[in-house]
Structure 1
Amino acid sequence: MSETTGTFVVTHAESDSAVVRDVETAQVHTLASNPGLEVHDVLEATVAPDPPLEVTWQLVDIEDRRAIELVDSDLEPTQHAKELAADAEVGDLIQEERAGTGEIHIFCVPSDDVDAAAADVLEDDETIARAARLEAVRVEVRRAADEGVLSVRYLPD
């Protein structure tokens, strides 16, 4: 095994160890120590096998560390998001790049499932990993229950 450099999400953190997952390859690395990491931290870092047994990993270098803010917004999706969803079927996902950086994901769900769908997005570790890949620092979930529209906005700083 050798050093690995990439973008990692902290999936578990205890006082004496942590687990990070590479957002591109999904490779999981258990760290032999925890240098103050918290769950959902995003790291641009290098990890290497921890000697002598090399069954755990150590952080060799942290180039950048940021937190992803998850926001359950009381705002409705934008008019544009609703228009995109108007022609979609229940179960469809529409992805659109934002002007500049980031992305908006629009889900069409049954009206009575919008709140549950929003909770699923906010609790899903993949939401954080996707935000890390998109270089977002804020994920904002908006919903229009009466229309069955859920929008997930991956926003830059």
Structure 2
Amino acid sequence: MTETTGTFVVTHAESESAVVRDVETAQVHTLASNPGLEVHDVLEATVAPDPPLEVTWQVVEVDDRRSIDLVDSDLEPTQLEKELAADADIGDLIQEERAGTGEIHVFRVPEDEVEAAAQDVLDDEETVARAARLEAVRVEVRRSPEDGVLSVRYLPD
């Protein structure tokens, strides 16, 4: 095994160890120690096998570190997001780039499943990994149960 450089999201953290996942390859690395990491932290870093057994990894260099805030917003999707969803079928995903950086994902879901869908997005490890890939630091989930619209906003700040 050799060292790996990439963007990693912390999926599990304890005082003695942590688990990070490469957001591009989905490869998981168990760290032999925890250098102060918390779940949902994102690292632009290099990890290497931890000697002598090389069954765990260590962080050898950190170029950048940030946290991803997951926000269960009480706001409704914007008018634009509702318009994007209006022509979509249930289950469709519409991706819209934001001005600047980030993305907005809009879903049509059955009206009685909007709350569960919002919770699924907030609980999904891939939501944080996608935010890391998009260089977002905040993920805001908005919903409109009466319209069957769920929006996920990946925001740079």
Q: Using the alignment, how far apart are the partners of 2:83 and 2:38 within structure 1?
A: 38
Q: Which amino acid aligns with 2:147?
A: E
Q: Using the alignment, how far apart are the partners of 1:50 and 1:68 within structure 2?
A: 27
* Helix, strand or coil at the partner of 1:118: helix
Tell me, yes or no, if structure 1 residue 85 matches structure 2 residue 85: yes
Tell me, yes or no, if structure 1 residue 144 matches structure 2 residue 144: yes
TM-score normalised by the chain length of structure 1: 0.99
Tell me, yes or no, if structure 1 residue 102 matches structure 2 residue 102: yes
Q: Using the alignment, how far apart are the partners of 2:134 and 2:121 within structure 1?
A: 16
- Residue 20 of structure 1: aligned partner: 20
Deviation of 1:111 after TM superposition, in Å, equals 0.5
Q: Using the alignment, how far apart are the partners of 2:40 and 2:70 within structure 1?
A: 10
Q: Using the alignment, how far apart are the partners of 2:57 and 2:88 within structure 1?
A: 45
Equivalences for residues 93-132 of structure 1 within 5 A = 93-132=93-132
Equivalences for residues 34-113 of structure 1 within 5 A = 34-113=34-113
Q: Which amino acid aligns with 2:44?
A: E
Dislocated runs of 4+, deviation >2 Å: none
* Helix, strand or coil at the partner of 1:121: helix
- Residue 4 of structure 1: aligned partner: 4
Deviation of 1:59 after TM superposition, in Å, equals 0.3
* Helix, strand or coil at the partner of 1:147: coil
TM-score normalised by the chain length of structure 2: 0.99
Q: Using the alignment, how far apart are the partners of 1:50 and 1:66 within structure 2?
A: 24
Deviation of 1:72 after TM superposition, in Å, equals 0.7
CA RMSD in angstroms comes to: 0.5
Q: Which amino acid aligns with 1:143?
A: R
* Helix, strand or coil at the partner of 1:146: coil
Q: Which amino acid aligns with 1:151?
A: S
